[in-house]
A and B are shown apart, each in its own frame.
Chain A
Amino acid sequence: MLVFLHTFQLGLRSLWLHPMRSLLTVLGIFIGVASVIWLLAIGEGISVVAQRQIEGLGAENIIVRSVQPPADVTAGMNGPVLYGVTRAEFEMLKQTVPTLKNNGGGALPIREVRRTISYDGRSVDGRVVGCTPQYQQALKLEVATGTFLTEIHNRNHENVCVLAEQLARKLFPYEDPLGRSVYLGENKDFYRVIGVLKYRNATAAVGGSLAAQDFSSDMYVPIETVRQQITDTVVTRRGSSFSAETVELNQVTLQVNSIDNVRRTAALVRKMLRVAPDDKGPAVQEVGFKGQERSESELNRQDVSVVVPEELLEQARVTKFMFMIFMGLIAAISLLVGGIGIMNIMLATVTERTREIGIRRALGATQQHIVLQFLAETISLSVVGGTTGILGGLLCPLVIDQARALAIRFAPELMSQLPPVVHELEATIVPLSIPLAFCISVLVGVVFGIYPAMRAARMDPIEALRHE
């Protein structure tokens, strides 16, 4: 053991004799080891982003959303555009899906309208969310003061509302909002504030089907009140032309009673709403009657999308996996190239030091001693590379933040087109990756050092002594 430590010390010293050469040799290992740490850190970051998305949506939920048809489809049409989930469909889901929480109580209808919310001359462009009392529990909204909506408010179609924290602060910078009434200009109607929520983090966007939700400008109103006061048809004015759309419900959140049932329930819901199964999700077995095959168009409804957070987890896993393979490949290639570089240098070193090998053999070194010596030198090289690589790897979160900030500053358009994961990603160093990276660098040293070391050991001591 002592001999081994001594050998290492000597190994490091002989590397120090050729600093430039050692530096260049070590570069490959540096890149390889750093990319191992990077790949794990970024992979972890992707997982965290995905986890946060799922958490925001609730892993046990299935989200049915109405999707506005694209403008070119609706261009020639007269009258309001009709799309989305209907109340009838909601009732159908609520009554017939067997795996919902609380025997159908886990189905939440939601209606959203953008409105200008004002109080005492202050106006905020906000989002009016018509919902049921269960919405609070489903989205884990916490009440700061007052109460959330109740069943009675809903039944009586009362003009009451609960404000999000930021919205309340903007509208009521000086007063206590409770008991006061905010005004919706478009409807010429007042709503009494009965509660203010605590601050809630925004959820991330999910693919193309679900936009990011920041809850900051939400105003929660009983859904029955929305139906009565705001109605299903909303007319918006764009310049000189008006466009109208009729939507009964913007979203239905289905809470499934058990996480194990989520996928099966999702398949059922898709079938009931005639939505094509999600390609990215796991294959769902189609149970159809023979001879009664449904036509393509029937199973291809475009104005409703079914989002299953659980499936998103799967997607995130795939993304992460792809990324890890890609980075892993980079790491493997640079480790291979670095290893070959090290082997090359060690072979040159062995030839250069033939005489020294002869001397050592004459003075009593066994073949094993020589192998150990050169192996120790190779490992020293790769470990130096590995250690600097680890340091380089630890800079990952910092570098990513800086690079992203720079990219946003100099190429904002390009950055805006990139998927949200790029923006939200926070690389997280996986603690285990540090010992792993270290072991990899030692391993590279052993693998690529063994051949030059064996060659040194197998030399005939007499020949080696005679070598000039």
Chain B
Amino acid sequence: MKLAAQLVGIRKDYVLKSETVRALRGVAFDVPEGDYVAIMGPSGSGKSTLLNVLGCLDKPTAGNYFLGGDDVARMNDDQLSWIRATRIGFIFQSYNLIQQYTVVENIEVPLLYQGRLNSQAKQRCRELAQLVGLGERLTHRPNQLSGGQQQRVAIARSLVNDPFFILADEATGNLDSATSEEIMQMFERLNNEGRTIILVTHEDDVAAHAKRVIRLRDGLVQWDHPNETRVLAAAAAPAA
């Protein structure tokens, strides 16, 4: 099976004053295409650091991180920017939309930095907005939208560059439970369409939607298993 991402012996040390904090101490796992992974762990487990490494915002101290055959761990800042623009779809807890942009313009941002923003791409951005149910609000600005709507804009934005995987950081952390459920359904639908999703969360009922759960503890993978309830449910209803 083709891999969306592969982590091999990822270490990350932070030097704080004279003390070295070892945030990641050799994390390794594969993410096959089409997978839906939830990464869990208590605070201090290295979850945020792993997220930054996965999102190519930070470089590991040691180890290899393969994204589509390229070892991202050895890349410079500009190359990492390019990887972020082309291969990763970010979704954040606080939506992180650009306030002065409209819905469509926010969706266009990653394409802007790929230099691929033509009329065809703009059309695709409008279609994505429709896909997440915001076809009527293309020219609204983030402050005119509810939290759930903003997060749907963020989802549309994460899809625009056709990424290797979607990296969602506490995507439902700021939402009420009904809206959370809505967003989770959207993730599930995307996953069913073949999208690879990596979800970082500390909520069990969010993680329950994933196919696979990875638990971190003290900078190491403590637990990496298929999510039985969901796998079983899928087995019971193979048509889904």
**B57 adjacent to A462 (CB under 8 Å):** yes
Q: Tell me, in angstroms, the Cα distance from A352 to B180 when the chains sit together.
A: 30
| A363/B99 contact (C-beta < 8 A), A462-B52, A462-B57 known | no
For A368, list chain B residues within 8 Å (CB).
Answer: 78
**B113 adjacent to A365 (CB under 8 Å):** yes
For B82, list chain A residues within 8 Å (CB).
Answer: 364, 366
| A363/B90 contact (C-beta < 8 A), A6-B117, A462-B58 known | yes
In chain B, positions 84-123 with a C-beta closer than 8 Å to chain A are 84-86, 90, 92, 96-100, 109-110, 112-115, 117
A-B contacts, 25 of them at CB < 8 A, read A2-B115, A3-B117, A6-B112, A358-B96, A359-B97, A359-B109, A360-B113, A361-B81, A362-B90, A362-B96, A363-B109, A363-B157, A364-B82, A364-B85, A364-B110, A364-B113, A364-B114, A365-B81, A365-B85, A366-B81, A366-B82, A367-B77, A367-B78, A462-B52, A462-B58
Number of chain B residues whose Cβ lies closer than 8 Å to a Cβ of chain A: 27
**Contact pattern, A 445-467, Cβ under 8 Å of B = 1, otherwise 0:** 00000000000000001100100
Shortest beta-carbon distance, A366 to chain B, in Å?
Answer: 4
B46 in contact (CB, < 8 A): no
Complex A-B, nearest 3 residue pairs according to Cβ-Cβ distance, in ascending order:
A364-B85, A364-B113, A366-B81
A229 in contact (CB, < 8 A): no
In chain B, positions 164-188 with a C-beta closer than 8 Å to chain A are none
In chain B, positions 48-84 with a C-beta closer than 8 Å to chain A are 52, 55, 57-58, 77-78, 81-82, 84
For A468, the closest partner residue in chain B by CB is B94
**B112 adjacent to A356 (CB under 8 Å):** no
For B160, the closest partner residue in chain A by CB is A363
For A13, the closest partner residue in chain B by CB is B100
Q: Tell me, in angstroms, the Cα distance from A369 to B86 when the chains sit together.
A: 15
For B57, list chain A residues within 8 Å (CB).
Answer: 361-362, 461-462, 465
Residues of B that sit less than 8 Å from A by CB:
52, 55, 57-58, 77-78, 81-82, 84-86, 90, 92, 96-100, 109-110, 112-115, 117, 157, 161
| A14/B100 contact (C-beta < 8 A), A362-B55, A366-B78, A367-B77 known | yes
**A366 adjacent to B77 (CB under 8 Å):** yes
Shortest beta-carbon distance, A12 to chain B, in Å?
Answer: 12
Partner of A3, one of B85, B115, B157: B115
Residues of A that sit less than 8 Å from B by CB:
2-3, 6, 13-14, 17, 355-356, 358-369, 461-462, 465
Q: Tell me, in angstroms, the Cα distance from A361 to B114 when the chains sit together.
A: 12
For A17, the closest partner residue in chain B by CB is B100
Q: Which of B82, B112, B157 has the most CB of A within 10 A?
A: B112
Question: Given A360-B109, A366-B113, 17 other A-B contacts at CB below 8 A?
Answer: A2-B115, A360-B98, A361-B81, A361-B84, A362-B90, A363-B110, A363-B113, A364-B81, A364-B86, A364-B113, A365-B113, A366-B82, A367-B77, A367-B78, A369-B81, A461-B57, A462-B57
Q: Tell me, in angstroms, the Cα distance from A358 to B113 when the chains sit together.
A: 14
Shortest beta-carbon distance, B183 to chain A, in Å?
Answer: 19
For A6, list chain B residues within 8 Å (CB).
Answer: 112, 117
For B105, the closest partner residue in chain A by CB is A10
Q: Tell me, in angstroms, the Cα distance from A365 to B90 when the chains sit together.
A: 13
Q: Tell me, in angstroms, the Cα distance from A180 to B86 when the chains sit together.
A: 100
For B98, list chain A residues within 8 Å (CB).
Answer: 356, 359-360
**B84 adjacent to A363 (CB under 8 Å):** yes
Q: Tell me, in angstroms, the Cα distance from A11 to B115 when the chains sit together.
A: 18
Q: Tell me, in angstroms, the Cα distance from A276 to B109 when the chains sit together.
A: 78
For A462, list chain B residues within 8 Å (CB).
Answer: 52, 57-58
Shortest beta-carbon distance, A108 to chain B, in Å?
Answer: 77
Q: Tell me, in angstroms, the Cα distance from A364 to B114 when the chains sit together.
A: 8
| A369/B113 contact (C-beta < 8 A), A362-B84, A462-B57 known | yes
For B114, list chain A residues within 8 Å (CB).
Answer: 364
Q: Tell me, in angstroms, the Cα distance from A360 to B101 when the chains sit together.
A: 12
For A358, the closest partner residue in chain B by CB is B96
Q: Tell me, in angstroms, the Cα distance from A355 to B110 when the chains sit together.
A: 16
For A363, list chain B residues within 8 Å (CB).
Answer: 84-85, 90, 109-110, 113, 157
Q: Tell me, in angstroms, the Cα distance from A340 to B96 when the chains sit together.
A: 31
Q: Tell me, in angstroms, the Cα distance from A96 to B135 when the chains sit together.
A: 99
Shortest beta-carbon distance, B102 to chain A, in Å?
Answer: 11
| A355/B81 contact (C-beta < 8 A), A363-B90, A364-B113, A462-B57 known | no
Q: Tell me, in angstroms, the Cα distance from A133 to B71 when the chains sit together.
A: 99
Q: Tell me, in angstroms, the Cα distance from A369 to B115 when the chains sit together.
A: 11
| A2/B117 contact (C-beta < 8 A), A356-B98, A360-B109, A462-B52 known | yes
Shortest beta-carbon distance, B151 to chain A, in Å?
Answer: 14
For A369, list chain B residues within 8 Å (CB).
Answer: 81, 113
Shortest beta-carbon distance, A112 to chain B, in Å?
Answer: 76
For A14, list chain B residues within 8 Å (CB).
Answer: 100
Shortest beta-carbon distance, A352 to chain B, in Å?
Answer: 11
Shortest beta-carbon distance, B114 to chain A, in Å?
Answer: 7
Shortest beta-carbon distance, B119 to chain A, in Å?
Answer: 12
For B86, list chain A residues within 8 Å (CB).
Answer: 364
For A465, list chain B residues within 8 Å (CB).
Answer: 57, 92, 96
For A359, list chain B residues within 8 Å (CB).
Answer: 96-98, 109
Q: Tell me, in angstroms, the Cα distance from A362 to B92 when the chains sit together.
A: 10
Partner of B96, one of A2, A3, A355, A365: A355
Q: Tell me, in angstroms, the Cα distance from A368 to B157 when the chains sit together.
A: 22
